[in-house]
């Protein structure tokens, strides 16, 4: 595996770790200021403060939710993260499979295209 692919996997692992622990650091430390995020099938958004507001709403709606990685696939400029969002407080059968395609520039995400069924994504409709 190339050094660049290994680097990008570390960036993606940080994305997962901070998603699971700290929504504000997740946005500020994982994404470039000029990032683009596509909740595919819903729309695109940008703006650091808006993103933090959204992630805090998700955490407030599901404080015990976590992203469990199934696998990651790296290239020299992107990582695909296949994962499942789970929340034990919603029951053992509740989960949302997702796939995030993360375009990496340097040490941060420049473009995030996340594919999921957002109809049951906690807090997503409140922002």
Contact 111, 100 (CB under 8 A): no
pTM: 0.91
CATH topology of domain 3-120: Nuclear Transport Factor 2; Chain: A, (3.10.450)
Contact 68, 84 (CB under 8 A): yes
pLDDT at residue 126, as a whole number:
47
* pLDDT tens-digit series, residues 9-68: 999 999 999 999 998 999 999 999 999 999 888 889 888 998 898 888 888 888 889 999
Dist CA 39 CA 41 (whole Å) = 6
- Please give the radius of gyration of the chain, using alpha carbons only, rounded to the nearest integer: 14
Where are the domains positioned within the chain?
3-120
Phi and psi torsions of 44, nearest 5°: -110, 150
């Amino acid at each position: 595996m190339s050094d660049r692919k290994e680097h990008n996997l570390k960036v993606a692992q940080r994305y997962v770790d901070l998603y699971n622990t700290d929504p504000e650091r997740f946005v500020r430390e994982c994404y470039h200021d000029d990032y683009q995020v596509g909740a595919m099938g819903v729309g695109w958004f940008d703006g650091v403060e808006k993103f933090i507001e959204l992630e805090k709403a998700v955490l407030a709606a599901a404080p015990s939710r976590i992203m469990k990685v199934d696998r990651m696939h790296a290239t020299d400029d992107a990582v695909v993260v296949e994962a499942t969002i789970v929340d034990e407080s919603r029951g053992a059968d509740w989960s949302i499979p997702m796939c995030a395609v993360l375009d990496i520039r340097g040490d941060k995400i420049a473009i995030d295209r996340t594919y999921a069924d957002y109809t049951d994504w906690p807090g997503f409709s409140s922002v």
